[in-house]
Chain A
Amino acid sequence: MMKRDQALKTLADYYPDGIVVPVYQAAFDWMGIRPHALNYLCTGAMGQASSHALGLALACPQEKVVVLDGDGSLLMNLGSLVTIGTAAPENLIHFVIYNGLYEVNGHYPVPGGTSIHFADMASAAGYRRSYRFRALPAFEAAIVEILTEPGPIFVELHAEQGEVYPKDYVAIHSAASRARFRDALRDRVRGS
């Protein structure tokens, strides 16, 4: 199984400055790997990242929007797969980092463990294309295609903890994070 930080570093290499909506453990890692004003850190309630990402994708159709979801989080908002599949934003890429655990809540297993087929669910819900990766080389080989083809795209990444980054809970709820994102998005949209 690939390491999460390696997968995220691969994404950051090919997607250095676009909008990203990361949640919980992926957010903590992502802030360390790619600190950026266009990281939308404040999703508020567990499970809501994909819905925030849809709102951003609809508001800014000229911008790519990447969501880094968790398996437990997505299980809490599975209907959003159908909502996104129906709205069909071409600029949305939905990753789920799949380790079968509520990692920030005591490493307790999620219902279904590691036997859930999220990518199949996404395809059935109307995503244009879905991928499943367990090894880094395969993900590296596909990343350019994932980032350039029209969405909505779903990517199920089986990954375990790699390098440990600080758990910055303040950042993922702070008014400063929200203001920084708002200003950066305004500058990006007006400059494009």
Chain B
Amino acid sequence: MSALDINLEGATIIAALKSADVEFVVTLPDIVTCDGLLWPMSKDEDFRLVQVCKEDEGVSICAALSYGERRAILMMQHTGLLDSINAIRAIAVEYALPVVMLVGLQGMEPGRALLESDSYGIRILPPLLKTMGVAHKVIDQDADTDDMAEVIAQAYQQSEPFVFLVSRSPMAPEEGQGQ
């Protein structure tokens, strides 16, 4: 199967987020996930959207929401994750708070392993997250979302951060699908 044959539906991810009781979507638009996820989620009344001006705000917002027993997803581009390292280090890791991030890999080549990407910013993500002790999973096709709700639930139960790395643009749901 070629990289072009692989399917990743936005509706599948949205369904997984709903299944995980994610209520708040805290976001700064990312080119990988904007059409297939952010736009449809913006129109979905099951989600409450919080737009941030800089990604590290979102780390704090998600952490604080967890004190009120509200679940959130922080959606951003991988450059935003890199820009938020200190907030993730202090608030998510050292404070052991459930900040769950959905990160678009801008510039990722379909079908390649992250460590083989031509993008330096993408290549360093797996070792960087490992060094920080932050678990992650690559979302490249629908099958990768099978345990997404379970992983989010576990992050909240164990009060720890988790990063989903979205390596290709999810296809936008048909109108009304995934809602």
Interface residues of A (CB under 8 A from B): 40, 42-45, 47-48, 51-56, 58-60, 77, 79-80, 82-83, 86-87, 173, 175, 178, 181-182, 185-186, 189
Indicate if the CB atoms of A52 and B63 lie closer than 8 Å.
yes
Residues in B whose Cβ lies below 8 Å from that of A43: 60, 91
Question: What would be 10 A-B contacts, judged by CB atoms less than 8 Å apart?
Answer: A44-B94, A45-B89, A48-B87, A51-B60, A52-B61, A54-B60, A56-B68, A178-B95, A181-B67, A189-B68
Residues in B whose Cβ lies below 8 Å from that of A48: 56-57, 59-60, 87, 91
A138 to B113 alpha-carbon distance, docked (Å): 62
B24, B60, B62, B70 — most chain A CB neighbours (10 Å):
B60
Nearest to A58 among chain B residues (CB) is B65
Contact with A along B60-90 (1 / 0, CB 8 A): 1111110111100000000000000011011
Q: Which residues between 20 and 58 of chain B lie within 8 Å of chain A, taking CB atoms?
A: 24, 48, 50-54, 56-58
Interface size on B, residues (CB 8 A): 29
Indicate if the CB atoms of A59 and B57 lie closer than 8 Å.
no
A48-B91, A79-B54 are known; give 19 further A-B pairs, CB within 8 A.
A44-B60, A44-B95, A45-B56, A45-B87, A51-B60, A51-B61, A52-B61, A54-B64, A55-B63, A55-B64, A55-B65, A56-B65, A56-B68, A58-B24, A58-B70, A77-B56, A83-B50, A83-B53, A182-B67
**Smallest distance from the beta carbon of B64 to chain A beta carbons, Å?**
3
B50, B68, B90 — most chain A CB neighbours (10 Å):
B68
Residues in B whose Cβ lies below 8 Å from that of A59: 64-65, 67-70
A55 to B50 alpha-carbon distance, docked (Å): 10
A48 to B52 alpha-carbon distance, docked (Å): 12
Main secondary structure of the interface of A (DSSP, over half): helix
Q: Tell me how many residue pairs across A and B have CB atoms closer than 8 Å.
A: 98
Indicate if the CB atoms of A44 and B68 lie closer than 8 Å.
no
Interface residues of B (CB under 8 A from A): 24, 48, 50-54, 56-65, 67-70, 86-87, 89-91, 94-96
Residues in B whose Cβ lies below 8 Å from that of A77: 54, 56-57
Residues in B whose Cβ lies below 8 Å from that of A87: 50
Nearest to A174 among chain B residues (CB) is B95
Nearest to A84 among chain B residues (CB) is B57
Residues in A whose Cβ lies below 8 Å from that of B90: 44-45
A23 to B67 alpha-carbon distance, docked (Å): 18
A173 to B93 alpha-carbon distance, docked (Å): 12
Indicate if the CB atoms of B52 and A83 lie closer than 8 Å.
yes
